[in-house]
Amino acid sequence: MQDRRLKNASPTATPLPRVLKPRRAAPTDAVRPTRAEVSLEGLRFNLRALRRVTQAPIYSVLKADAYGHGAKAVARTLERAGVNGVCVALLEEAIELREAGIQCPVLVMGGYYGHAWSEVLQHQLTPVIYDLSQLEALAKEASQAEHPAWNIHLKVDTGMARLGITASEFPKAVELLAAHPELKLQGFMTHFACADTSAESIAEQLDRFDAMTTTLVNRGLKPELRHAANSAALARSPRAHLDLVRPGIALFGVEPMPNSELNLKPVMRVSSQVIALRTLQAGQTVGYGATWKAQRPSVIATVPIGYADGLSRSASNNGFLLIRGKRAPIVGAVSMDLTTVDVTDIEGTQVTDEVVALGKQKGTHGEATITAQEIAARENTIPWEVLTNVSRRVPRFYRES
């Protein structure tokens, strides 16, 4: 495919800066040991894995600070690894990436509050237009600017019923586009509701999408980039790949559905340390509300990670942390900054031992892994939320390996 990176590049863009260390208030050895390590090689590995599944260009979805991994570092890594574009949810997310030196096409899928179209133009972003009022407002803005034509992507609702031009509004949208040559319909997109569970629903939505495409083409409008596939549709349906694919979660190493076999590498690992140990007698209780009572003499380890870091309070008396390569059950309530685990059966546990909340650990008791899928299943949510819940308070450290 042709290289679109230069076409949309800002003429004033500066050379790519090196991947930055996260901002910290103090030197590394003076901060809390709780951290998220992000494997840049894991990202590159997953991009290569997806390239084996599709010939289509890949626009990585980096909304919500790249699913909690840090959008700037992730975008720089993927751009250097040859990703064809990135998608974000909000205008401010897109501007952050341009200011970090990202030059590839940036598709802004939403977040046009206050119709800030001049900023879209100024930062050379590609807007996704999902309703008629936006289409009218952007046409006005574009006709006043000096650009001969401005690339937009139009989003249609083929079954998600969330955002997108509906079937009944579509004829009006087509007329508006035909009347405004200063807006170039570069892209035409939709989004799947059930890509992870149903091949039939993908096919039904694609049938509607194809029919709408025919209407466009009959009116002389021929989008060069038609796209629909998230990670699950990329894994499940070659027909959905179209002219580009929009994977998010798969790049971060999470299989997008139960039996996809993309063989991905997890990218984020969250770890901390044991900071205190105590021995309880049978009958003593732990934590707020005294929700756990020792049934035998027990050793309890305290770890400085809590719900304010993204370890859900629903892991109270329910989840695990890894110590010395073994699972330690969380006992008592997870509190804002601290969590307690039962290490009675993990002999030799000491203060400063590493603790893993997400990812793999090897230690004197073997090897164990906690995946985002496992946490999601236990907490009745999805891996996407487990990743985006890792809060701002947890510094991200970027590893090349």
Ligand X SMILES: *Cc1c(COP(=O)(O)O)cnc(C)c1O
Q: How far is the CB of 242 from ligand X (least distance, A)?
A: 13
**Least separation in angstroms between CB 249 and ligand X:** 4
> Which alpha helices (H) appear in 132-228, and where do they start and end?
132-144, 170-179, 199-218
**Which CB sits closer to ligand X, 67 or 320?**
67
Stretch touching ligand X by CB under 6 A, among 244-252, 270-278, 295-303, 357-365: 244-252
Residues 6+ apart with CB under 8 A from 207: none
Residue with tokens 């073994």: 326
Establish if 230 lies at the interface with ligand X (CB under 6 A). yes
Kindly give the pairing relationship between strand 59-61 and strand 35-39.
unpaired
Which of 38, 109, 156, 286: binder of ligand X (CB under 6 A)? 109
Token pair in block for residue 359: 């990812």
Residue from 50, 388, 48, 5 nearest 233 by CA = 50
264 binds ligand X (CB under 6 A): no
Stretch that binds ligand X, among 11-19, 235-243, 245-253, 258-266 (CB under 6 A): 245-253
Q: Which residues lie across from 299 on neighbouring strands?
A: 279
Rounded to an integer, what distance in angstroms lies between the CA atom of residue 269 and that of residue 38?
7
Q: Which residues contact 258 (CB under 8 A, 6 or more apart)?
A: none
CA-CA distance, 60 to 74, in Å (whole number)? 10
Distance, CA of 33 to CA of 37 (rounded, Å)? 12
Q: How many residues bind ligand X (CB under 6 A)?
A: 13
CB-side exposure of 228: number of CA atoms within 13 Å? 31
Nearer to ligand X, 232 or 346 (CB): 232
Is residue 78 a contact residue for ligand X (CB under 6 A)? no
Binding piece for ligand X, criterion CB under 6 A, among 25-33, 226-234, 323-331, 352-360: 226-234
Give the residue with the Cβ less far from ligand X, 50 or 138.
50
Q: Is residue 165 at the binding interface for ligand X, with CB under 6 A as the rule? A: no
Asked if 226 is part of the footprint of ligand X (rule: CB under 6 A), the reply reads no
Q: Does 108 bind ligand X (CB under 6 A)?
A: no
CB 308 within 8 A of CB 356: no
Q: Please identify which residue in 42, 247, 359, 383 interacts with ligand X, judged by CB under 6 A.
A: 247
Q: Between vectors from CA 94 to CA 88 and to CA 100, what angle results, nearest 5°?
A: 125
The residue annotated as part of the active site, out of 140, 222, 288, 362, is: 288
Q: Does residue 246 touch ligand X according to CB under 6 A?
A: yes
Nearer CB in complex with ligand X: 251/274: 251
Per the document, the length of the chain is 401
Q: Which is nearer to ligand X, 94 or 274 (CB)?
A: 94
Q: Which two tokens stand for residue 45?
A: 């590995």
Minimum distance of ligand X from residue 160's CB (angstroms): 9
Does 85 contact ligand X by CB under 6 A?
A: no
- Spell out a b/e string for 344-368, using b for 16 or more CB atoms within 10 Å of the CB, else e: bebeebeeebebbbbbebebebeeb
* 326 is an interface residue for ligand X by CB under 6 A: no
Q: Which residues contact 79 (CB under 8 A, 6 or more apart)?
A: 16, 86, 102, 103, 104
| Residue whose tokens read 């508006």 | 176
In the annotation, is 288 catalytic? Answer: yes
Q: With binding defined as CB under 6 A, does residue 256 bind ligand X?
A: yes
CB of 149 to ligand X, least distance (A): 24
Position of minimal CB gap to ligand X: 248
Closer by beta carbon to ligand X, 92 or else 367: 92
The CA distances from residue 130 to 15, 96, 104, 388, in Å, are 33, 22, 22, 25
Instruction: Choose one: 117-125, 133-141, 246-254, 295-303; the region binding ligand X (CB under 6 A).
Output: 246-254
Q: Which of 63, 155, 184, 326 is catalytic?
A: 63
Q: Which residues pair with 341 in a beta bridge?
A: 301, 330
| Binding-site member from 36, 47, 56, 61 for ligand X (CB under 6 A) | 61
Give the tokens for residue 385.
Answer: 């939320």
- Per-residue x/- track, 181-200, ligand X (CB under 6 A): ----------x---------
Q: What tokens does 169 get?
A: 């509004």
In the complex, which residues of this chain contact ligand X (CB under 6 A)? 61, 63, 109, 191, 230-232, 246-250, 256
| Residues with active-site annotation | 63, 288
